[in-house]
A = this chain, B = another copy of it.
Amino acid sequence: MNDPIVASSPKKIRQNNEIAALRALHRAGRLSRADLARIMKLNRSSSGHIIAELTADGLVREVEEEEPVRKSHARAGRPGVLLELVPQAVLFVGIEIGVEHITCVEIDLAGTVVNVKTEPFDGPQHNAEKAIRHAIDLSLSGMPKDSLRRLEGVGISTPSQLSRDGTIHLAPLLGWKNVNLVELARNELPVKVPVMVENDANAFAIGAGYSGPELNEGVTLFVVMESGVGGGILVEGRLLRGAHGLAGEIGHMYIGGEAGSEQNLEQIVGLSSILSSYRAVTDRRGTSFDDFLADVRDRAPDAVSIAENWAKALGYALAQICRVIDADRIVLGGSVAKLYPLVAARLTAHMKSAQEPSFPLPTLLLNREAIYGSAFGAACMVHQRYLSPESNRFVGDA
């Protein structure tokens, strides 16, 4: 309704096309100029010009044919020389300020993780300014000057309500309120680079979408289940932020129960809830979630019953959510998601029973690689920005 009101000019066309080329290369990995021309529906000569410029800028290079002679080209004609992004050309940093730790991730132009650092951190003990200083110190310490010059953006993720301009309204878990993280980070950074802030669950969704292109079509709900339960929504690859960056934050949805006795999702399917139920039925102290999983796997009745409750509550919630956003797929992540494969059929059954038969169910997927948490997603945000018309590559034009 309101986007394409700003027009293009010859210069902007080239910019857009360079971006499109970078994105295509990012997605496909390696492409020839001719491939690129086909993808972008451009003439081969134009594609050549664009690549020439990007090569001059040091962002793209021809791949040196490692494999000496690659037979079986299958196709007649002169083979194209493959192009690829120059990973080292630029650098992006993602920072997750959590309640218990700070994680920093570095990714390169290709979106590959090149560095990870984690450190315990007592979030509620620090105010926002100290936390940011600490986090930026951690992320940039030991980074060679050369890398710092290649830094093109810093993304930050925190468990918080964010207004659209990057101000934290409220971060209950950290005890922060009304702070402009973007500003704080800009003041703390030794270089002037774009800074973006996002809710942790949303950052996670962006990161997951980055690793799985198939998640960028239609509507995808990401659910992260640890002690808390959060989530994010991707619509056609774009994050659905909502008015306060809280879209997808489903941990506090009410599950069953009449007024007064309501329980929220997090209180039923969260890690601490499962553990306390499990510890109540096993006499052993200090049993871990893995012990619980093992018991479920062995069909120990008490454990199975807890798992069944989990599946029921989660299924109910997911069905409700699908009534609202009609998701194509739901990705379950976080350590608690490891329970899913054991009760997949039950969860599906409960989802079915919470809808009319005619309502189509989404596909359920398990996310296995959430190793870097939302720090990776935070880095992806600035990577994404670099490959967009807002990129800082284009400073100094009308």
Q: Which residues of A contact B (CB under 8 A)?
A: 1-10, 13, 16-17, 19-20, 23-24, 27, 39-42, 46, 161, 169-170, 172, 209-210, 213, 216-219, 233, 235-238, 240-250, 252-254, 256-259, 262, 312, 316, 320-321, 323-328, 353-356, 358-360, 362, 384, 388-389, 398
Give the complex CA separation of A255 and B236 in angstroms.
30
- Chain B residues whose CB sits within 8 angstroms of the CB of A3 once the complex forms: 236-237
- Chain B residues whose CB sits within 8 angstroms of the CB of A7 once the complex forms: 13, 16-17, 20, 40-42, 46
Taking A5-B39, A244-B326 as known contacts, 8 extra A-B pairs with beta carbons closer than 8 A to each other, sorted by chain A number, are A1-B238, A13-B13, A219-B242, A245-B326, A246-B359, A247-B325, A253-B320, A324-B325
Give the complex CA separation of A248 and B235 in angstroms.
14
Question: This chain: how many copies in the complex?
Answer: 2
In-complex Cβ contact of A360 among B161, B233, B247 (8 A): B161
Give the complex CA separation of A217 and B264 in angstroms.
30
In whole Å, how far is A246's beta carbon from the nearest beta carbon of chain B?
Answer: 4
In-complex Cβ contact of A23 among B5, B17, B233, B360 (8 A): B5
CB pair B8–A324 under 8 Å, yes or no, is no
Chain B residue with Cβ nearest A363: B243
- Chain B residues whose CB sits within 8 angstroms of the CB of A46 once the complex forms: 7
Give the complex CA separation of A46 and B398 in angstroms.
15
Chain B residue with Cβ nearest A218: B243
- Chain B residues whose CB sits within 8 angstroms of the CB of A321 once the complex forms: 324
